[in-house]
Amino acid sequence: MKVLMALSGGVDSSVAAAELIDAGHDVVGVTMRLWGGESDTGCCSVADVDDARRVAQQLGIDHLVFNFTDDFNAHVVDPYVRAHSQGLTPNPCIECNRHLKFERLSERADLLGFDAVATGHHARVDVVGDRFFVHRGADAAKDQSYVVHMLPQRELRRTVFPVGHLTKAQVRQRAIALGLRTATKPDSQDVCFITQTGGREAFLGARIPFRRGTVVGSDGAVLGDVPAIEMVTVGQRRGIGLPGGGPKRYVTAIDRTTATIVVGDEADLYVSELTVEQLVWADQPYTGDVMVQCSAHGAAMPAGLDGNTVHWQQPQRCVAPGQSVVFYDASNSYVLGGGIAA
């Protein structure tokens, strides 16, 4: 099988390529140049491209570089900025997976005659009957099924996750045994276009005007203010313009129209229902008992799903609008689909 292997310059994709080669596949590595601006975090730096190229040399495979910066700006960066201006809390890494690392890369794979696309995500693709589903990775602590939940059947049928059956420790052991330059390289943790030096505030402040927001209690009493309502998210406790020493207060709602931030006790964060928009499904729309995960490393919680409404079995902390919500089957193993919290 001819496989286009996405090499990010990290240890997981490096070992994934080695696994494919060992399995006898014809492998070509590709690195996507996504963010053209300043970067000192994530997986888009010049050093990462160089690491990917050198790993390809070590493994004896060809290495390509695709310039997708325009697509990245259109589908990831611009929507990220727009979402913050609308009071939402977006997940740009998921949108990058959706639009670039699978959709756009698959289109290019078609043009070049590849049979499959592979990445270094810690997830698996399993067949149930004649349908394909993302299955959680073998390493529960590193499972990335949440961030690849959006894959439809046409993508699942030709997507390969070569390290999904390995733990992270096994991946690093394999990389060390192969002498790969990425063997001890730290994992990418941050959004690639947000620098450590400037942070989210500097990035957004250069692109959208900030509005001062008024902080009020649940009774409407004014408690303080913040310099930028665009920097506040539901569930936030620190940095919301309140004096120290008092009771803990959390953001429970944001009214973008009036530039008002409502705060309350932690108990005020708990809700019985969650509305999810922009639903996508691995196969068919599903109604019934599900496990629902609302962050990349959060625990999945039991709920009933009816249309686009999640009915929690036990009240859960509210999810910031704009965050991804992923549905798993009742066994908490297979991804059924997901969407965006309203």
Residue with tokens 């120290």: 244
Residue with tokens 């019934």: 288
d(CA 119, CA 121): 6
For 188, the token pair is 């990418």
Length of the chain: 342
d(CA 307, CA 304): 10
Catalytically annotated residue among 43, 44, 93, 96: 96
Rounded to 5°, the CA angle 124-127-133 comes to 55
d(CA 53, CA 30): 9
Active site residue 93: no
Provide the angle, in degrees to the nearest 10, between the axes of the packed helices 46-59 and 11-22.
20
d(CA 79, CA 278): 14
d(CA 27, CA 165): 19
Check residue 166 and report its DSSP letter: S
Catalytically annotated residue among 43, 44, 93, 192: 192
d(CA 323, CA 191): 15
Contact between 14 and 175 under an 8 Å Cβ cutoff? The reply is yes
Please give the radius of gyration of the chain, using alpha carbons only, rounded to the nearest integer.
21
Nearest CA-CA partner of 120 in 162, 87, 81: 162
**Considering Cα of 175, then 176, then 182, then 184, what sign does the dihedral take?**
positive
3-state secondary structure (DSSP) of residue 73:
helix
Cα distances (Å, whole numbers) of residue 51 to 128, 168, 169 = 37, 19, 20
Active site residue 44: no
Other beta carbons within 10 angstroms of residue 179's beta carbon come to 8
What amino acid positions are annotated as catalytic residues?
96, 192
